[in-house]
Structure 1
Amino acid sequence: MKATRAEEIMKSADIIGVKYRNNYVWIEDVDKGRNTAHVTYLEKRNTLHVDIDQLEETGPVTHLH
């Protein structure tokens, strides 16, 4: 994923699925200079900084479990 797309997803009014290492995450912040993002695992609720290149967009989320 590109930094600009990560930022668009973060600011979007829609819920767009994003995975990091096969786990869904919520993008909290984007650092374009370092090409990293601060993300929170949806299942575990822990946060970490990751390379934006390792994020995978899965598309719009129509319902939450």
Structure 2
Amino acid sequence: MDASRAEQIMRSPETIGVKYRDNYVWIEDIDKGRNTAHVTYLEKRNTLHVSIEQLEETGPVSYLH
């Protein structure tokens, strides 16, 4: 994923699925200068900074498991 798309997803009124290492995450913030995103694992609730390139969009979702 690129930084522009990550920002679009973060600001979208729709819920758009995003995975990091096969786990769903919520994009909290983006640092375009470093090309990183601050994300929260949805199941574990822990947060971390990751490379935006490692995020994978899975498409619109109506609910998350």
Asked if these proteins are the same fold (TM beyond 0.5), I'd say yes
Q: Distance in 2 between matches of 1:10 and 1:22?
A: 19
1:63 to partner: Cα distance = 2.6
How many aligned positions are there? 65
Residue 41 (1) aligns with residue 41 (2): yes
- Residue 60 of structure 2 aligns with which residue? 60
- Residue 9 of structure 1 aligns with which residue? 9
Identity among equivalent positions (%) equals 80
Q: Distance in 2 between matches of 1:34 and 1:44?
A: 25
TM-score norm. by structure 1 comes to 0.96
Unaligned runs of 5+ in 2: none
Name the SS for the 1:45 alignment partner. Answer: coil
Q: Distance in 1 between matches of 2:16 and 2:7?
A: 12
TM-score norm. by structure 2 comes to 0.96
Residue 50 (1) aligns with residue 50 (2): yes
Unaligned runs of 5+ in 1: none
Q: Distance in 2 between matches of 1:22 and 1:41?
A: 11
Name the SS for the 1:9 alignment partner. Answer: helix
Name the SS for the 2:13 alignment partner. Answer: coil
